[in-house]
Every structure is written in structure tokens, then in C-alpha cells.
Amino acid sequence: MCRSVCRRAARVGNDEWRMSPQYKPPRFPDPEASQQVHLDVLVDDIAQAEPAALALGATLVQAETDGAFRVYADPVGHTFCLVWLPE
């Protein structure tokens, strides 16, 4: 299955969307897989932020951490973290 990937079009300098038949979604925490981009999202309240992220299609990948973040994947497999400040 092809997925869209964004690349900078060198010819005209505009963002352009292309289909990539060789696209493989990232796998966490597999170091051999392409991780592409990772975002850390600072949230005030994980008890509110987590259900909102899950409702938007996120998947919890790693809940057991040092207690200040959790790792998720978006519907395509890109990882991101919800991070909160300890009280």
C-alpha cells in the first residue's frame, strides 16, 4: 500500500506530495526501522491529554517510562510523546 510523503520540490521550491510505493511505516523501538520525525508534546494534564490523543487515532506504544512521559504512535506509525511536568 502506498502512502503519501512530503518532499521539497527542488525544481520549483514548493512542497509537493508524492506517492511512495516503497514506504514502510516506522516501528518503535526498532532501531533498524526509519523513525522519521518524533515530537514531544508538553501537556498540562495527562489524564485529559491521553484520551484526547487516543480518540484522534493515537496508539499507546510505551506506558512504562520514568513517569514524566508516554510514547504513542499516530495512525501511520510516527512516534510522539506526551510529556508533563512532575508536580
Range list of H helices, the chain: 46-55
Is the pLDDT higher at 73 or at 1? 73
pLDDT of residue 55: 96
Q: How confident is the model at residue 66 (pLDDT cuts 50, 70, 90)?
A: confident
Cα angle: 29, vertex 79, 34; to 5 degrees: 60
pLDDT in tens, 9-59: 344 445 556 667 777 777 767 777 666 677 899 999 999 999 999 999 999
Q: Residue 60's closest CA among 33, 41, 79?
A: 79
How far is it, in rounded angstroms, from Cα 74 to Cα 84? 19
Q: How many CA atoms lie within 13 A of 68 on its CB side?
A: 6
